Amino acid sequence: MTETATHLHDTAQLPQVHANRNAGLPLDLDWVARVQANTSAIERRAATLPGRRTVKKSYQAAWLARAITLIDLTTLAGDDTPGRVRRLCAKARTPVRADILDALGLPPLTTGAVCVYHEMVPTAVEALAGTAIPVAAVSTGFPAGLSPFHLRVREIEESVKAGAAEIDIVISRRHVLTGNWQALYDEMCAFRAACGEAHVKAILATGELGSLRNVARASLVCMMAGADFIKTSTGKESVNATLPVTLTMIRAIRAYEAATGFRVGYKPAGGISKAKDALVYMAMMKEELGDPWLKPELFRFGASSLLGDIERQLEHHATGAYSAAWRHPMG
């Protein structure tokens, strides 16, 4: 049997992929216990990718344009104001100057979403009216996730009521650190139920989970509980998105799809501010999960400064010269 025929034979044994969102499944503690993570092998694999996978010239411009559509343009500051959020939404509507798009022959673009605190959801919804750009709200006592449980659930409900189409929740890290997978599963199920039709992104805060094995197991449990996305970080931890963590999480996604047929999205957040870094993450997604995960339905960057650097790189492709950062403001 040829290599191609063998591949087709193996693929035929996989469950049919569901077009609808992840429905979850009962907690399988045996499966969770079997999950391991070879840290040294994961780190070696992650370290080789930036040097092996590059795209150049017009291909790079096309990938960077795609990256813009994958950005959850985010403001999560204590001094956020309605004016700042409206400016951010204006940038989400028109993330790249029209003259750059025209020079490169690119169509109009928008970002994947705008992500804000609950208080700013109505402002963002109003500012994005008439577009297909969803509003995402961070919730459940973001970023620590230590407020009373009933208040965390109520916060989700209030954000959905205010018009948020996506909810970024934070898990209780203690459940992972103590191996209380039933508690994590029950918590995630409650959050998913509170979201209703809004899609839920489970923030694992991977920098606080202690090991890649914990990251892999927490990823699996959240998917079993119905998470539509799994996300690395709040952006407030000392360690946020990294390539080893990304490889661990997306391989958990791959295993979950192989077993259930459900596709779960992935969102790295925190520390991704350069266009070249976005290209590396996109290359890893393509190699490990395939082209379907290079669309906003299944992949997002949690970022804001990333957009400015991508726009700057696109202007270089159009003009041959690098411009100052102030030429590409967020609002």
Domains of the chain and CATH, by start: 19-327 (3.20.20.70)
Which H or E element spans position 113? strand 113-116
| d(C-alpha 112, C-alpha 161), whole Å | 21
315 close to 104: Cβ distance less than 8 angstroms: no
Summarised one tens digit per residue, pLDDT across range 115-164 is 999 999 999 999 999 999 999 999 999 999 999 999 999 999 999 999 99
Active site residues: 168, 231, 267
pTM to 2 decimals? Answer: 0.91
Residue indicated by tokens 């204006």: 90
Q: Is 15 helix (H, G, I), strand (E, B) or coil?
A: coil
Summarised one tens digit per residue, pLDDT across range 225-283 is 999 999 999 999 989 999 999 999 999 999 999 999 999 999 999 989 999 999 999 99
pLDDT band at 7 (very low <50, low <70, confident <90, very high): very low
For residue 142, the 8-state DSSP code is: T
Count CB atoms within 10 A of the CB of residue 24.
19
Record the tokens describing residue 51, joined without a space: 């040097």
